[in-house]
Amino acid sequence: MASEGPRPDEVVVVAAHLGPGAPAGLAPSPSTVSSRARVLDAALACVARFGVTKTTIEDVAREARLSRATLYRVFPGGRDELVAALVSREVDRFFSVLTRRMDGCPNLADKLETFLTSSSAQLAAHDGLRVVLGHEPEIVLPYLSFAHFDRVLAVCARFLETYLSPPLGAEDARRVGEWLVRLVLSSALCPPGEVEAAVSLDSARPLASTRPVRLEEIPQPTAGRLVKNFLLPGIEVLVARSGRGSSDRSFATRP
């Protein structure tokens, strides 16, 4: 199979699909499920080592210690199907972790802060994403900018709607969800500390144009300040404008 990278329409699963990518139809056998997980783990290891473009079916089969024939039985579509399934699984894992952490938050402020810290931490710690951003940014950046960013915003806003309403209605919850995603990506791609240092009057150093593309974790103190000084005031305006009031306990900030 050719080793060229997937086209943007093949990787649209990043923002359009949250499931684990299991094939439709009859439930797969336990051996198939086990082989599928094994192949996906191997594919992730290869992407973290070589990047997407240079990872081949042979690389994945070798890493998984499976034959090419076995790999093609699990993923009949070959490399394209495998890459799409890997992205789908990693997206599913991302939201599963967020769900577990946000479900335990007692109020809106904690939910907002947890989303900022947990989402950025997961992105920063993902070995495969880090390699792709560093060496093949053209594969990922369309989903973090104009070309396909609306798909990412829609998926994340749909996920966050549950946690933001009440006190917000559905429409405002989606708007705030998009606001949160933009905040995570802008802060993670261009950490405030670097920007402040670059524009400081005491420093003649410009923001390095050669800085490698990477995502960084948003520290808890920074997330707390963003929530307190930026997010909650804006949400309070939306709540007041809607006439919903802020009596709901989920809107309470941390004491």
Give domain 1-88's CATH number out of 3.40.50.2300, 3.90.1170.50, 1.10.10.60, 3.40.30.10: 1.10.10.60
What secondary structure does DSSP assign to 30-79, as a single string?
Answer: HHHHHHHHHHHHHHHHHHHHH-STT--HHHHHHHHT--HHHHHHH-TTTH
Give residue 109's pLDDT.
94
Contact in structure between 186 and 145 (CB atoms under 8 Å): no
Peptide bond into 191 cis (omega under 30): no
Q: Can you list the pairs that 170-178 forms with residues at least 24 positions away whose Cβ atoms lie under 8 Å?
A: 172/238, 172/242, 175/238, 176/231, 176/234, 176/235, 176/238, 177/153, 178/153
- 201 has pLDDT over 80: no
99 or 145, which is more confident?
A: 99
Say what the pTM is. Answer: 0.78
- 25 has pLDDT over 50: no
Nearest to 43 by CA among 62, 27, 25, 30: 62
Nearest to 159 by CA among 176, 179, 184, 177: 177
Q: How far apart are CA 67 and CA 90, in angstroms?
A: 24
- 20 has pLDDT over 80: no
Taking the alpha carbons of 114, 116, 121, 123 in that order, is the dihedral positive or negative? Answer: positive
Contact in structure between 86 and 75 (CB atoms under 8 Å): no
What are the extents of the domains in the chain?
Answer: 1-88, 104-255
Q: How far apart are CA 177 and CA 74, in angstroms?
A: 36
Nearest to 98 by CA among 82, 78, 81, 113: 113
Query: Tens digit of pLDDT for each residue in 123-167?
Result: 999 999 999 998 998 998 888 877 788 989 999 999 999 899 878
